[in-house]
Structure 1
Amino acid sequence: MTEFGFVLPDEFSHVPLDQTLEFARRADEAGLHSVWKQEASGTNGVATLAAISQCTSTVRIGTGVASVFSRSPSLLGMSAATLQGLSNGRALLGIGVSSPPLVERWHGCEFDHPLRRLRETIEIVRQVTAGGTVEYHGEVFDVGPYTMALETNEDVPVFNAAIGDANRALTGEFADGWLPAFLPRSTFSAFVDDVRESARTAGRDPDEITVAPWIPTAIDDDPDRAERRVRYLLAQEMAMGYNEQLDEHGFGDAPDRAHDLFRDGDREAAVAAISDQMVDELTVSGTESDVRDQFDRYAHGGADLIIAMPSMEASVPELETVVDVLGELSDST
């Protein structure tokens, strides 16, 4: 059975912190599987989720995505264990290598050995959240021995936001879940097979890997308005550097043109540069009936958990519609 999650709108969507918490409460009441808090140069994701843990009861809370460069593995593990305790076992740790611009220009770190750092981070986090003595001697990190003072009840599932081939293989080998974004729907099942085969090769049960794609989503009685929302989101994400990821997927120069135009401040032209093919392959939009059919394709392609990523241009009522429809879809699956 496919479940649904929701990427919480925040200051990048011009949503104040108290409204972000209100969306989490709404998702909780709607019966969604999880809510995910992004983290770039705005609010602290872990701190926000700590507040959300106190105003929700059943929805799971996930970092989406915590950079392995912005916190040490020990601090990531401590943060995950703390969220697990505050939420009575509802925490999910989404991590990733982020990108050179964010790591170097915002955090002031050198973007070196990202995949090795990611692998060692996962292994250290597992020790920390398990409690007891933590000791790890790797190529990037040399930790312990020291004792984890916080009592923990259970491990926190670790989701890897992998993009490239080597990182997807690492996901199958070490992580509990996979958080892909901006993968073409027509080839999505093949990438799922790659991750599960990597798990099988590592001696793991491939079905233990939760496949949880982030899907740009807009739901509206007016399909054209919904499509406009996802086009804007794609243009914005291309400007964040995802255009480079799409070079290998056959979208021509549209991702690069959208990147350049958005970065130059011509957002309308950037939105117009997003091709119909990109909309069809990378997003879900339209009426409730439309999105139900489109989500079904991801479910048939191997998604266990579909995480809807709303447009940063969407209004509060439009965002509320997304949450409510996801709740209805959750009830019907």
Structure 2
Amino acid sequence: MPKLGLVLPDEFSHVSLNRTLEFAKRADESGLHSVWKQEASGSNGVATLAAVAQCTTDVQIGTGVASVYSRSPTLLGMSAATLQQLSNGRTLLGLGVSSPPIVEGWHGMAFDRPLRRLREAIEIIRQTTAGGTVDYDGEVFDIGPYNMTLEADGNVPILNAAISDANRSLTGEYADGWLPAFIPQSSFSSHVSDVRESARNAGRDPDDLLVAPWVPTAVDDDPDRAERRVRYLLAQEMAMGYNEQVNEYGFGDAPDRAHDRFRDGNRDAAVEAISDRMVTELTVSGTESDVRDQFRRYSRDGADVVIAMPSMEASVAEIESLIDSLGTIADST
């Protein structure tokens, strides 16, 4: 059985920041492994996690994910070191290259050389979180020498939200873990093997990598009601661009139809466009017993932590119930 984490519902789920903090406290009290804060065009992920660090005691806190375009590598390192101090060593730095619509349309930057930028960012972040002098001469960044004045211990794990084959290879070579989303269960094991093999080829211990997939999750005594929640989340995520990723796994035209219908405002039709196979391959839902069994399959296939993504249409009571169920499932191992 893997450890269990939670993607914190936030403004995309129509809840306030104060409510997001309440969810984090509940996850901490329920004994979950980690909570993760998304960041796109809403609240600042690092600032929110700083508040989470102050109202929790044991749960690990993760950026999910911090873009290597929206912050400089040194600022990412400074942010990680700061969160590490505020949380007493509970920080996980989830990194990603984001996407052209966010990088270019929201941040006004060119989406160029993403993998090289990511690799150099990881190397610079490691120098920054180690403290002392930062000095880096790369193809994308030329930094320093300068001194990091905040006390840092260099022990902030970096997880890469890699999608492509090349990026998964980079994960094994440079990162401390893999933070994937929307990987079909039938492909998950082989992708985990690829990431660990890349680490082995780079002279690293593949067992040191933390594999932590994000998985749409709903728990309910009524399995149909739970399935409806994950179908909605899939439809919304297809509309946010993940249709292009999952198209590579042979789901036919369902991802694109869900994308188009959701974007056109026809959300019911978008949910209907999600195929049964997409639900089976990309989500976990049902009773506590059902969900426990599905999480065990992820563990069997190489996951160390499964990070549950609640539906963005779930009510506060449903999210609270999910957190409690995750705690119960985690306790049963």
TM-score category of the 2 structures, normalised to the smaller one = over 0.9
| Pairs within 5 Å for 1:95-134 | 95-134=95-134
| AA aligned opposite 1:178 | W
| AA aligned opposite 1:108 | G
| AA aligned opposite 1:199 | A
> Aligned residue for 1:161?
161
Answering whether residue 74 of structure 2 is matched by residue 74 of structure 1, we say yes
> Aligned residue for 2:282?
282
Kept in 2: contact 1:73–1:124 (CA 8 A)? yes
| AA aligned opposite 1:24 | A
Give, in whole Å, the separation in 2 of the partners of 1:100 and 1:111.
6
Cα displacement (A) at 1:108: 0.6
SS at match of 2:55: coil
> Aligned residue for 1:46?
46
Cα displacement (A) at 1:330: 1.6
Give, in whole Å, the separation in 2 of the partners of 1:164 and 1:31.
33
Give, in whole Å, the separation in 2 of the partners of 1:46 and 1:86.
11
SS at match of 1:143: strand
SS at match of 1:18: helix
SS at match of 1:54: helix
| TM-score normalised by L of structure 1 | 0.99
Give, in whole Å, the separation in 1 of the partners of 2:220 and 2:315.
11
SS at match of 1:122: helix
Cα displacement (A) at 1:2: 1.7
SS at match of 2:147: strand
Give, in whole Å, the separation in 2 of the partners of 1:39 and 1:248.
25
Give, in whole Å, the separation in 1 of the partners of 2:169 and 2:51.
34
CA deviations on 1:43-93 (whole Å, 9 max, x unpaired) are 100000000100000000000001110000000000000000000000110
| Pairs within 5 Å for 1:188-199 | 188-199=188-199
Kept in 2: contact 1:73–1:125 (CA 8 A)? yes
Kept in 1: contact 2:232–2:311 (CA 8 A)? yes
CA deviations on 1:76-126 (whole Å, 9 max, x unpaired) are 000000000000000110010001001111111110000000000000000
Cα displacement (A) at 1:229: 0.5
Give, in whole Å, the separation in 1 of the partners of 2:199 and 2:5.
24
Kept in 1: contact 2:2–2:295 (CA 8 A)? no
SS at match of 1:307: strand
**What is the identity percentage for the equivalent residue pairs of Structure 1 and Structure 2?**
77
Kept in 2: contact 1:104–1:111 (CA 8 A)? yes
Kept in 2: contact 1:94–1:160 (CA 8 A)? yes
Give, in whole Å, the separation in 2 of the partners of 1:105 and 1:214.
25
| Pairs within 5 Å for 1:233-312 | 233-312=233-312
> Aligned residue for 2:18?
18
> Aligned residue for 1:227?
227
Cα displacement (A) at 1:186: 1.2
CA deviations on 1:255-291 (whole Å, 9 max, x unpaired) are 0111111111111101000000000000000111110
| AA aligned opposite 1:316 | V
| TM-score normalised by L of structure 2 | 0.99
Kept in 2: contact 1:9–1:20 (CA 8 A)? yes
> Aligned residue for 2:213?
213
Kept in 2: contact 1:182–1:282 (CA 8 A)? yes
Unaligned runs of 5+ in 1: none
Cα displacement (A) at 1:154: 3.7
Cα displacement (A) at 1:153: 2.7
Answering whether residue 151 of structure 2 is matched by residue 151 of structure 1, we say yes
Give, in whole Å, the separation in 2 of the partners of 1:129 and 1:268.
46
Kept in 2: contact 1:176–1:210 (CA 8 A)? yes
Kept in 2: contact 1:89–1:154 (CA 8 A)? no
CA deviations on 1:4-32 (whole Å, 9 max, x unpaired) are 10000000000101000000000100111
CA deviations on 1:144-165 (whole Å, 9 max, x unpaired) are 0000000113421000000000
Give, in whole Å, the separation in 1 of the partners of 2:185 and 2:234.
15
Give, in whole Å, the separation in 2 of the partners of 1:153 and 1:144.
20
| AA aligned opposite 2:123 | E
RMSD over equivalenced CA pairs, Å: 0.7
Give, in whole Å, the separation in 2 of the partners of 1:94 and 1:248.
24
| AA aligned opposite 1:183 | I
Cα displacement (A) at 1:247: 1.5
- Deviant stretches of 4+, over 4 Å: none
Answering whether residue 4 of structure 2 is matched by residue 7 of structure 1, we say no
| AA aligned opposite 2:26 | R
Unaligned runs of 5+ in 2: none
